[in-house]
Structure 1
Amino acid sequence: MRFILVILVLLSNIAVAQSLLWEVSGNGLKEPSYLFGTYHILKDSYLDKTPTVKTAFNAAQGIVVETTIDSSAMLSMAMRAIMPGNSLKKLLSDADYKVVADEFKQVTGYDLAMFNQMKPIMTATTLTMSYAEKEVDTLSKFTGQPLDLYFATEAKKRAKVLTPLETMEQQMAFLFDHDSVEKQAADLVKLVKEKKELEDQSKHLTNLYLAGDLDGMWKLSQAHEKKHGDLSYLVNERNQTWMGKLPTLMALRPTFVAVGALHLPGPTGLIALLRKGGFLVKPL
């Protein structure tokens, strides 16, 4: 579940309305901007079922996404993912390595040896995405590009102003470096041994997203944190940083902001923070 929340990732004191798209106005904005919660592994044909999102995207002059692909950073990312002088075989017992290797081969079709010198979070994330794509039937119905990539690509095609909130290096630091490789390895083994729970929660999370149920997703994330540990570094801390940028970007031009859905709800979510900042934020 931890890794599913990472992929999705990444409210006032009352329940949030059933919506993934919010209009942001007031506080000196000449035209409204929009805030949309994405699901990073959902494909863009999903938008054919949500014309309101397309209308908001089309109306915006600026597009804001979490990050954009930077080919010059690929080598740096690859180096960050590697464990010099270490390996999965050193981090895991022989028995646990076999359990993970067998599962990895069955689910992805690849030998775990290919990932042996990569940080365990890489293996865990690859497994999690495979679980989600194979076990959640509703995801396979959608085609095209992942939502975030679609918005960035379309922004460039239509000559809209595209602004990433973070660099790829910053995002990879959250993923690769926050936890020690020892903890990552322990989490990987736990992921494999508790995969049935993960699969059930993955389906639940996807259904909540497709229903636009931010409140349900928020409650699910809170229940997960109580059981598995704090994820504030992935959501709350980044929200605070982004709030240092979003008001200025929205003041410059009507802007469509697309970030992981879990960044929207909760007392430290973007909806609450924007309202606290004086903006009128209403569901569409």
Structure 2
Amino acid sequence: MKKILISLLFVLVSAVCANAQLLYRVSGADLKKPSYVFGTFHLANSPFADKIAGVRQALDATDQVYGELNFDVMLNPDSMQVMQKHMLLPEGKTLKTVLTPEQYKKLDAVLVDYMGVGLSNPMVAQ
């Protein structure tokens, strides 16, 4: 009985603390702009996020958003079509036209590190 009571108390305290710690602001002296991490979002549906103080303001102030994908939704043909559309560059655009020279150089270095070839390789550049 004592173990059950302690376990129940632990679960209750964890639930109360977790509710208050879903949105984290990451900032520091060397950062030009803060970043935000929204933790444990996969446990709740989308409308839930709108009820948490500060989420809407954080999203409105961001340049980019990264998130998880539900694997079952990802395999849906309609979802795959939408993702493919956003994975390809617009017609007539290349990496050289959408990246700054500095970004292009960084990408080339990463490709060389991970793949052993860079953007100067015709197969990679294509």
TM-score between both structures, scaled by the size of structure 1: 0.18
- TM-score, with length taken from structure 2: 0.36
